[in-house]
């Protein structure tokens, strides 16, 4: 995709003001509508497809809550990365255990996962 536009969503009594980086301001009643409205606004301004650019929505709910939201998002991102690492490690170990002659059920016991998960890991190992 092309450029990433940052949209700062600021609360006010009738909803949210969307401050679109370098382009202007629009409004929505509900934050759930912010991305679609901002995309349409940007696309209209650029005469482009709403999917031709990236958009980063940044709700502004006050300094303290903004800080907590960033911390929560960072924790979620770290968890997702750890899950990917765990899956890759599990796939590699499951393959090696299979090559050593262990059955799927034995691998499940050794890795403390279900036999179904072992089957998935071994299948993922073959296809990817």
Determine the average pLDDT of the residues in 96-106: 97
Rounded CA-CA distance 87/18 in Å is: 39
Sheet holding 54-60, edge to edge: 24-28, 15-20, 4-12, 54-60
23-32 b/e with 16+ CB inside 10 Å = b? Answer: beebebeeee
- Give the DSSP H/E element, type plus range, for residue 120: helix 115-127
In the structure encoding, which two tokens stand for residue 7, read together? 């949209």
Determine the average pLDDT of the residues in 97-101: 98
Q: Are strands 4-12 and 15-20 parallel, antiparallel or unpaired?
A: antiparallel
Determine the average pLDDT of the residues in 87-95: 96
- Classified as helix, coil or strand, 103 is coil
Determine the average pLDDT of the residues in 10-18: 95
pLDDT tens digit sequence for 24-68: 999 999 999 999 999 999 999 999 999 999 999 999 999 999 999
Q: What is the pLDDT of residue 125?
A: 57
CB 4 within 8 A of CB 54: yes
């Amino acid at each position: 995709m092309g450029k990433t536009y940052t949209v700062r969503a600021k609360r006010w009594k009738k909803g949210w003001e969307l401050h679109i980086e370098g382009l202007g301001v629009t409004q929505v009643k509900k934050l759930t509508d912010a991305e679609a409205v901002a995309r349409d606004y940007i696309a209209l301004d650029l005469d482009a497809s709403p999917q031709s650019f990236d958009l980063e929505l940044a709700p502004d709910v006050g300094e303290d809550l903004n800080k907590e939201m960033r911390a929560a998002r960072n924790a979620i991102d770290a968890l997702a990365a750890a899950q990917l690492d765990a899956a890759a490690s599990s796939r590699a170990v499951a393959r090696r255990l299979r090559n050593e002659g262990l059955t799927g059920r034995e691998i499940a016991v050794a890795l403390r996962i279900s036999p179904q998960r072992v089957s998935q890991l071994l299948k993922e190992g073959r296809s990817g």
